[in-house]
Amino acid sequence: MNTNDISFERKRPDVYGDAHPKALLRAIQEDGDYLLQLANQHIVAGDQLDQNTMKQLFRLAAKIESNPKRFSSPLQNKILISAFYEPSTRTRLSFESAWHRLGGDIMSITDRSTTGIAKGEALADVAEMFNNYGDCVVLRDNQQSSLYEMMDALRIPIINAGNGLDEHPTQALADLYAIFKWRPELLDASSGAQIKIGVIGVPNKMRTVRSLLKGLSVFAHAVSELVIIHDAASSAELFAPGQREQLSQRGIKVTTSTELNDCLPSLDVVYINAISWEGDTFHTYGDAFHLHAKSPLKADAIILHPLARGEELSTELDHTPHNWYFSQARGAVFLRMALLTCMVERAERVIDVV
């Protein structure tokens, strides 16, 4: 750190590795019909979209990321209600950045105590008011049921930005977008391309991991093996009832391990998370697991992390080709730009744009 140098390099790359989206863009043929269908859906779960819809969403995100200045006005005169009743940095700001970049306006709520909910107002009534105030809702709440209570009363789309321990579907979409930018050939089942993925975390406790595993199951052909790496203390609560069985039924080979360094040399993708929001606070899992410069990673392996990070992911790796977590976070903005455009009936404004 040089405290005497106050300059910065505006063109300095903020990601490492071959993170440019053009290869992904070329790998998928455009079919806008799948995107038009998103206008009639809430986004709730990591596996609710089929493979073709996800591919088209990734393609649109890649198109926007390749030339973002061409997509500055699709959401003019549209209003987003950004309701975050749980702490958030990347998710809230990336959604709001995405909406602003598309030309829309935002109403933001970051404190439940400043709303009628604090006075006992029913969430169904809040949702009814939202129908009159905006065109789309992004909700984060520490209660799993809040999302579903609002859905029944909404006539505008809502996106689950994290509901308790349950799910975080747009994080999973951003994770998959990063993986397919890295290896576009994984999208094509006939290519035979596969990767071995290690997930350091507790699927039963971490909504980011739960949604990622669901999303991966949609592309089961691309996964040779999924290794869940966890501490011994989490063994009894590693999977929710039926969670592992569902992955197996969809064609994913699932194994578990408590030895991180034994697994790392064979992993193509390492996904690490340590934090789980539970109720009004957070808990950490797997304190013994750390990735750093001396970790025995494959030479071409990439690391993903939903962030925020702690000691589990050393900054020593930030300036190495393993760092795809910054690209992952950056790409989330473009993925959400694509999704939001489609959900508020503006897909026709971006389809066929070169």
* Chain centroid offset of residue 319 CA: 23
Residue 219 has pLDDT above 80, yes or no: yes
pLDDT in tens, 93-114: 999 999 999 999 999 988 777 7
Strand runs (DSSP E) across 44-104, as ranges? 79-84
What pLDDT sits at residue 5? Answer: 81
The percent of residues in the chain predicted with pLDDT above 90, rounded, is 75
How much is the pLDDT for 321? 93
Q: Which residue has the higher pLDDT, 6 or 246?
A: 246
Domain extents in the chain? 22-167+332-348, 169-330
Q: What confidence score (pLDDT) does residue 11 get? A: 67
pLDDT band at 127 (very low <50, low <70, confident <90, very high): very high
Identify the residue whose tokens are 């990622």: 212
Residue type for position 240: A
Decide if 341 contacts 350 (C-beta within 8 A).
Answer: yes
Note the pLDDT tens digit of each residue in 18-41. 568 989 999 999 999 999 999 999
Q: At what angle are helices 90-101 and 325-343 packed, to 10 degrees? A: 50
Read off the pLDDT of residues 220-252 as tens digits, 9 standing for 90 and up: 999 999 999 998 888 888 999 999 999 999 999
CATH number of this structure's domain 169-330: 3.40.50.1370
Element housing 331 (H / E)? helix 325-343
7-21, 73-87, 105-119, 166-180: least confident range = 7-21
Find where tokens 């194994």 sit. 255
Mean pLDDT of the chain: 90
**How many Å apart are CA 55 and CA 168, to the nearest integer?**
19
Is 169-330 the same fold as 22-167+332-348?
Answer: yes
Percent of the residues in the chain that have a pLDDT greater than 70, as a whole number: 92
Query: Is the pTM of the predicted complex or chain greater than 0.85?
Result: yes
Q: If you average pLDDT over residues 339-349, what whole number do you get?
A: 96
Q: How far from 191 is each of 20, 31, 248, 315, CA to CA, in Å? A: 21, 21, 22, 35
CATH 3.20.20.450 fits 22-167+332-348, yes or no: no
- pLDDT for 18 equals 55
